[in-house]
Amino acid sequence: MRESSNPILNTKAFNKAAATLNDNQVMTVGGTIQKTFILTALVFAGALYSWANPSTVLLLVGAIGALVVGLITAFKPTSAPVTAPVFSVLQGLFLGGISLIISQQTGSGNSVIQAITLTIGVLFLMLFLYSSGIIKVTEKLRMGVVAATGAIALMYVMNFVMSFFGAAFFTLADTSMMAIGINLVIVGVAAFNLLLDFDFIDKAAAARAPKAMEWYGAFGLMVTLVWLYIELLKLLSRLNRD
């Protein structure tokens, strides 16, 4: 199996699970898609609850809880059938809270609905491009996406560190053409990460990974979708800012 730039979907995790799971049933692409729909529904449920009941406590519980459960899932993939749904609910609590805050701060309430719609649209577009073979996941494409994702991760870290000194170079309040352009590039890279995720899940299913790993594959895909949604929300908030 080839690597994905998604740190969750990696060969080591699947090989480790295959060695520890005693499951005669094998992973399928269809089964992974079904699990992805379930996790998406749980994210929506958590987000709607957090949106309707704004609370700093819920926001923190969602953010910290999702991080902890996500790390547990990443280090113990065999726990995904239990931890992936829990992660999704917690992630939903965080997304609902942070979406409400951003919409209130920027005065662009429509950005949330637009971001959700675009995230779903991008997901199905990239799935169509991958399944139809219009865009093939070649080694060159893979290396380019992985390199771009690494550069973005480095930029996030640098921006976070610089924010402590009041010198962050990429803030939500920045509506300059450069900020919008960077945001667009990140959205594009996140979208192409979906192609790599699809390809990795496809190869994992072809390699007859254990059935339980469908939950782990869906979990990894959700991580990319959450990233894509957040970046789209930030982009739309900049464009729609009053």
- CA terminus-to-terminus distance, the chain: 47
Instruction: Give 178-216 pLDDT, tens digit per residue.
Output: 889 999 999 999 999 999 999 989 988 888 888 888 999
Average pLDDT over residues 77-83: 92
pLDDT band with cut points at 50, 70 and 90 for residue 238? confident
Q: What pLDDT sits at residue 24?
A: 67
- pLDDT above 90 (res 225): yes
- Whole-angstrom distance, CA of residue 27 vs CA of residue 147: 29
Task: Please check whether residue 46 is in contact with residue 91, taking contact to mean a CB–CB distance below 8 angstroms.
Answer: yes
User: What DSSP character marks residue 77?
Assistant: G
- pLDDT above 80 (res 124): yes
More confident residue, 165 or 149: 149
- pLDDT above 90 (res 231): yes
- pLDDT above 80 (res 168): no
- Tell me which residue has tokens 């993939």: 77
Q: No. of H helices and E strands in the chain? A: 8, 0
Task: Please check whether residue 217 is in contact with residue 38, taking contact to mean a CB–CB distance below 8 angstroms.
Answer: no
Q: What pLDDT sits at residue 239?
A: 84
Instruction: Give 19-39 pLDDT, tens digit per residue.
Output: 555 556 888 999 999 999 999
Q: What pLDDT sits at residue 105?
A: 75
Q: What pLDDT sits at residue 165?
A: 76
Question: Model's pTM, two decimal places?
Answer: 0.86
Tokens of 214: 């469908």
Task: Phi first, then psi: give them for residue 108, nearest 5 degrees.
Answer: -125, 75
Q: What pLDDT sits at residue 120?
A: 92
- Whole-angstrom distance, CA of residue 115 vs CA of residue 229: 6
In this structure, the number of other CB atoms found within 10 A of the CB of residue 191 comes to 20
For the chain, the average pLDDT equals: 87
